């Protein structure tokens, strides 16, 4: 039967908190332990984790609005339950719900902007609002829309940007230790750029990763002459395929070869994945985002290449939908195009591994029988979650990956 999700007491002596953004849209499946929303007190932004599983029903407090601790903020439906009488569920509830409007909502604005994410998870926003949000690096799904039927329009984006500019810059997560306030870092001439919501998300997730996931690192050097030659042939045949596309495909081939690496750690159990969804790190003007290429193991190289190109383009325009960047079981991060020889990447939680790819460069290597040769080489560094994967399994995978890269024809075609 349906239950009410209530505003949790995020820290002692806090009476109310603001829903910064809903991580799930109405209709989305919710697993126990899933983050359903980000909530913010004057001290911190924290994840609101659902203790039970189900499906998110009606959202009662829209993003950007404040609610008292203990007040119902959303309905959690049982699987299979279609809809419930929210009024009946709420009957007998102490007065709660929205406490007050965000300060920036004008007097003429609607009293309770509907969340723009409808039951389908689709975000309703005007083309201009989408573009302005993308240019500012502002994720649309969290915004409340004031247009017809809760559509996000230009004024909503402008109001959110004004709010972001006015907002206090400090929102350290509560789970980190309390440290004394550092001395001000700004000297005259310095400029304080307010964090975008995207920047905050990157900061929170990577801090969580580096502080809660026991990383270990393995490095391998791959000979690239065969792969470079293959790529030349493909491109001469009129199909454009990048080195990175081939690497993504090789990752999937290696993961299918080494199922012990194709896993995700959760507190309850180790999830063994049936297929391979690879996240690809894309740098955008507003920050890093990792769109997901799904079912890479089942797709041809040219299909993978086309999908990466489309996702990267949409990412740079800020037009990715949450489904396009959420999930994924493994990430590829490539800084080779900047000439970086090698680097170690931070795991993209809740994934268990990430491959950091450096530049292809001609190096002197030992040839057969004491000879020396100059050949194109590429260094890759694998970061692994030791909770989920042991060293030997990771080493076997890295060897499998190297073999695919060095003998691409057999593995990829």
Stretch that binds another protein, among 125-133, 251-259, 260-268, 394-402 (CB under 8 A): 125-133
Q: How far is the CB of 135 from another protein (least distance, A)?
A: 7
Check: CB of residue 113 under 8 Å from CB of residue 146: yes
Q: How far is the CB of 256 from another protein (least distance, A)?
A: 40
Q: Choose the catalytic residue: 149, 195, 240, 386.
A: 386
- Long-range CB contacts (within 8 A, 24+) of 306-312: 308/242, 308/244, 308/245, 308/248, 308/280, 311/280, 311/282, 312/280, 312/282
Cβ proximity to another protein: between 6 and 151 the closer is 151
Using CB under 8 A, count the residues that bind another protein.
14
Q: Which residues pair with 402 in a beta bridge?
A: none
Q: How far is the CB of 18 from another protein (least distance, A)?
A: 22
Cβ proximity to another protein: between 72 and 137 the closer is 137
Stretch that binds another protein, among 73-81, 120-128, 256-264, 294-302 (CB under 8 A): 120-128
Q: How many residues appear in the chain?
A: 413
* Strand (E) or helix (H) holding 304: helix 301-316
Task: Annotate each residue in 126-165 with x if it binds another protein (CB under 8 A) or - if it does not, as one string.
Answer: xxxx-xx--x----------x------xx-----------
**Would you tell me how many other CB atoms lie within 10 Å of the CB of residue 128?**
11
**Would you tell me how many other CB atoms lie within 10 Å of the CB of residue 249?**
28
DSSP letter for 298, please.
G
Q: Is 286 in the site for another protein (CB under 8 A)?
A: no
Q: How far is the CB of 345 from another protein (least distance, A)?
A: 34
Cα Rg of the chain (Å, integer) = 24
To the nearest 10 degrees (0 to 180), the angle between helices 391-406 and 225-236 is 50
Residue 385 phi, psi dihedral angles, 5° rounding: -85, 110
Q: How far is the CB of 160 from another protein (least distance, A)?
A: 15
Structure tokens at 134: 């993308």
Residue 215 annotated as catalytic: no
Q: Is the dihedral of CA 18, 22, 26, 32 positive or negative?
A: negative
Stretch that binds another protein, among 72-80, 124-132, 265-273, 356-364 (CB under 8 A): 124-132
- Interacting positions 296-315 with another protein (CB under 8 A): none
Residue 175 phi, psi dihedral angles, 5° rounding: -70, -15
Cβ proximity to another protein: between 105 and 227 the closer is 105
Q: How far is the CB of 133 from another protein (least distance, A)?
A: 11
Cβ proximity to another protein: between 94 and 106 the closer is 106
Check: CB of residue 150 under 8 Å from CB of residue 114: yes
Quick one: 168 exposed, middle or buried, by C-beta within 10 A (0-12, 13-18, 19+)?
exposed
Q: How far is the CB of 148 from another protein (least distance, A)?
A: 9
Stretch that binds another protein, among 11-19, 105-113, 158-166, 308-316 (CB under 8 A): 105-113
Cβ proximity to another protein: between 54 and 145 the closer is 145
Structure tokens at 368: 């057969």
Cβ proximity to another protein: between 133 and 276 the closer is 133
Cβ proximity to another protein: between 108 and 191 the closer is 108
Binding site for another protein (CB under 8 A): 108-111, 126-129, 131-132, 135, 146, 153-154
Catalytic residue positions, numbered: 386
């Amino acid at each position: 039967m349906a239950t009410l999700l209530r505003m949790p007491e995020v820290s002692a002596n806090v009476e109310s908190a603001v829903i910064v953004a809903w991580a799930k849209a109405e209709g989305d499946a919710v697993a126990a332990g899933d983050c359903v929303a980000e909530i913010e007190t004057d001290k911190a932004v924290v994840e609101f984790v659902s203790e039970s599983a189900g499906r998110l029903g009606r959202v009662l407090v829209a993003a950007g609005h404040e609610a008292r601790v203990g007040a119902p903020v959303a309905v959690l439906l049982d699987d299979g339950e279609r809809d419930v009488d929210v009024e009946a569920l709420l009957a007998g509830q102490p007065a709660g719900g929205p406490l007050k409007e965000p300060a920036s909502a004008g007097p003429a604005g609607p009293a309770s902007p509907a969340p723009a994410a409808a039951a389908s998870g689709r975000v309703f926003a005007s083309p201009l609002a989408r573009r302005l949000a993308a240019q500012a690096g502002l994720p649309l799904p969290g915004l409340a829309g004031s247009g017809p039927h809760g559509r996000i329009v230009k004024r909503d984006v402008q109001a959110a940007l004004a709010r972001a500019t006015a907002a206090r810059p400090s929102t350290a997560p509560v789970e980190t230790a309390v440290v004394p306030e550092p001395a001000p870092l700004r000297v005259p001439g310095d400029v304080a750029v307010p964090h975008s919501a995207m920047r905050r998300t990157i900061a929170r997730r990577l801090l969580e990763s580096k502080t809660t996931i026991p990383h270990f690192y393995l490095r391998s050097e791959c000979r690239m002459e065969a792969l470079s030659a293959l790529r030349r042939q493909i491109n001469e045949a009129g199909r454009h395929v990048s080195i990175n596309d081939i690497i993504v495909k090789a990752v999937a081939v290696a993961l299918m070869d080494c199922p012990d690496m194709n896993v995700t750690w959760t507190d309850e159990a180790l999830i063994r994945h049936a297929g391979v969804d690879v996240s690809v790190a894309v740098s955008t003007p507003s920050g890093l985002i990792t769109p997901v290429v799904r079912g890479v193991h089942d797709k041809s190289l040219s299909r993978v290449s086309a999908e990466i190109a489309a996702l990267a383009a949409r990412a740079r325009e800020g037009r990715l939908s949450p489904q396009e960047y959420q999930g994924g079981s493994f990430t590829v991060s490539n800084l080779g195009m900047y000439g970086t020889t090698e680097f170690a990447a931070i795991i993209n939680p809740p994934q268990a591994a990430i491959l950091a790819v450096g530049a292809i460069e001609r190096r002197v290597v030992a040839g057969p029988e004491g000879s020396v040769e100059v050949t194109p080489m590429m260094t890759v560094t694998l970061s692994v979650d030791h909770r989920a994967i042991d060293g030997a399994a990771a080493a076997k995978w890295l060897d499998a990956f190297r073999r695919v890269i060095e003998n691409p024809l057999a593995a990829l075609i």
